[in-house]
């Protein structure tokens, strides 16, 4: 894949002396990795603020009591809905790898098929999040207002809802961007851009981004819903 970009300069045979690819990856793929690393720093900063504020607080709302709603059903089902959301996102990650795998074989129709499944997974996740936000908003939770009492019975900390909406909102925005880029890339695949280009590496690059979004959710899930 990446050997196509290898320059034909004279090389001394040493890895870092030029005329070589020390990272063994194309420019675009390398830059996607570095972008994701910087994006990981941003999310780390948010999770860092969360950890510092939470563990310096005397008490904190209980996640099992806050996140216990499921659409169309009345009752108390802690973690069930967020479990469904986690499953949807992991599934869409799997269909994305399957698209990348099909891209390696140059199977255009298969790439389009798996990309469409990935897009549907992303849209399903965003719909779930929209429902959850609406549900919490109806309970009176929003930036600056927290109706949920702390574990020890004292009035709930505003930090809780502020951090929840900021972090899941920032993640949801990443999912939204991913869905938009996925749609663009799927159209490009369908009209044969990558066949003409001779490589499906673009699918690999957007795949890296999509898995990163899944990865962030794994951390958000642990820190907000479990701990």
Nearer to another protein, 41 or 173 (CB): 41
Q: Work out how close the CB of 85 gets to another protein at its nearest, in angstroms, rounded to a whole number.
A: 11
Looking only at residues 61 through 100 of this chain, which bind another protein when binding is defined by CB under 8 A?
64, 78-79, 83, 86-87, 90-91, 93-94, 96-98, 100
CB atoms within 10 A of CB 158: 13
51 near another protein, rule: CB under 8 A = yes
What does the per-residue mask of binding to another protein show for 2-41, with x meaning CB under 8 A?
A: xx--x--------x-----xxxxx----x--x---x--xx
Contacts of 124 (CB under 8 A, 6+ apart): 88, 92
d(CA 98, CA 95): 5
Pull the structure tokens for residue 106.
Answer: 């140059």
Binding of another protein by 177 (CB under 8 A):
no
Residue 48 contacts another protein per CB under 8 A: yes
* 194 closest CA partner among 98, 104, 97: 104
For 32, the token pair is 């996607």
- Least distance from C-beta 142 to another protein, angstroms? 25
- H or E element in which residue 54 lies: helix 27-55
d(CA 128, CA 110): 27
Token pair of 12 as six digits: 């001394």
Q: Count the site residues for another protein by CB under 8 A.
A: 55
C-alpha torsion sign, points 51, 56, 57, 59: positive
Instruction: Specify the residue, 187 or 227, whose C-beta has the smaller distance to another protein.
Output: 227
Instruction: Name the residue nearer to another protein (CB basis): 131 or 219.
Output: 219
CB of 147 to another protein, least distance (A): 23
Least distance CB 138 / another protein (angstroms): 25
Residue 188 binding another protein, by CB under 8 A:
no
Q: Is 117 in the site for another protein (CB under 8 A)?
A: no
CA 21, CA 40: separation in Å to the nearest integer? 25
- Alpha helices per DSSP H over 56-107: 63-66, 80-104
Shortest CB 145 distance to another protein, Å: 22
Question: 3-class DSSP state for residue 18?
Answer: coil
What DSSP designation does 215 have?
A: H
Which residue ranges make up the site for another protein (CB under 8 A)? 1-3, 6, 15, 21-25, 30, 33, 37, 40-41, 44, 47-48, 51-58, 64, 78-79, 83, 86-87, 90-91, 93-94, 96-98, 100-101, 104, 204, 207-208, 211-212, 214-215, 218-219, 221-222, 226-227
């Amino acid at each position: 894949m990446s050997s196509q970009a290898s320059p034909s300069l004279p090389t001394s045979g040493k890895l870092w002396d030029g005329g070589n690819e020390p990272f063994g990856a194309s420019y675009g793929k390398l830059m996607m990795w570095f972008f994701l690393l910087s994006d990981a720093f941003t999310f780390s900063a948010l999770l860092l603020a969360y950890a510092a504020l939470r563990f310096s607080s005397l008490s904190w709302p209980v996640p099992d009591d806050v996140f216990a709603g499921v659409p169309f059903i009345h009752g108390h089902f802690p973690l069930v809905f967020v479990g469904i959301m986690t499953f949807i996102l992991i599934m869409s990650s799997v269909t994305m790898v399957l698209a990348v795998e099909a891209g390696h074989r140059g199977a255009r129709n298969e790439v389009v098929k798996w990309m469409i499944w990935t897009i549907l997974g992303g849209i399903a996740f965003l719909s779930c999040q929209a429902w959850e936000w609406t549900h919490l908003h109806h309970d009176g939770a929003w930036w600056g207002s927290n109706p949920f009492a702390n574990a020890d019975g004292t009035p709930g900390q505003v930090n809780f809802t502020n951090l929840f909406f900021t972090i899941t909102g920032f993640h949801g925005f990443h999912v939204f961007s991913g869905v938009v880029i996925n749609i663009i890339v799927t159209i490009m695949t369908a009209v044969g851009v990558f066949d003409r280009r001779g490589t499906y590496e673009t699918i690999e690059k957007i795949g890296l981004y999509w898995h990163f979004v899944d990865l962030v959710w794994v951390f958000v899930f642990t820190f907000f819903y479990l701990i």
